[in-house]
Structure 1
């Protein structure tokens, strides 16, 4: 691998291999026992036939590499908040939809925004430092966890605040845009699609 990397013009010292713990496959609430002899092993191609690459990638990146992980196929295929990638992708699609309907954004630091909106702003402010931490530690799971936190906070804010027609609609529009940008950048970084509709 190092020779291949070098032949492509990259420094082979930058190639780092991270070994992860075993992953157990869960289907219908039970562990799927795998055995090469019995012919019950599951390849990544088999897994891709049963769920999306987005779900596999995102869910595998929610745990530290030194932690055992149970990959639940039913959870990966669910279309609700129990599926972490669906939760985040749905939140991103919600920002796209909202921005089509909200007034053009403007920033007013004097606007009287809700506590949830303030929490979102503080969480967004953590994003650049989080990326630096991930670069220095290779703990990519921090990004998936951050996305889930942002998604849950944004959805809670959305449920509590009627944005369209709100007296601070234009200010909230800028907040929604900032959330959208962070979702898009973070999803791109982990190689997960950011669908505009769901």
Structure 2
């Protein structure tokens, strides 16, 4: 009987030990719980908005073409007789719109003028007027008094230009007092013959 009880007790102890071992294996490793993995956060980037500065617009600039050698004239201290036109040929047309006497100085006796200039309004645009090759013209004006050349002056290219033609006081000394016949002519320089494009005539009283 004692042997049977010991055997039974040993079995009970063995069963209990086996149960404790199973419980330990189930709860072993401590109370740590797995750390949840964070879901990846989706990020979006915003492209920068390109801004443009307002473009300032300007009015087109009119380009005025200048004939070779043309410049703003100045009154020289002394007068020399100008170079005459070279064997002029007529290409007359409506180029000179009008002219008038300006910068007039009255004579001491009140009759006539001792000095004056001529202001002329004309079309001096001469693009591609020379035939071979197509070359721009070189316009110039002359002023003749009583058929004597007193002024030669280069001109700018203008379709409707106003030009002041200087008459030097020394050039007037060769004339007697009285009525002077004044002729303004528009020319173009050419290789052999200068071309005469238009002319204007007027009269003025000269006091001498």
Report the TM-score when normalising by structure 2.
0.20
More helix by share: 1
More strand by share: 2
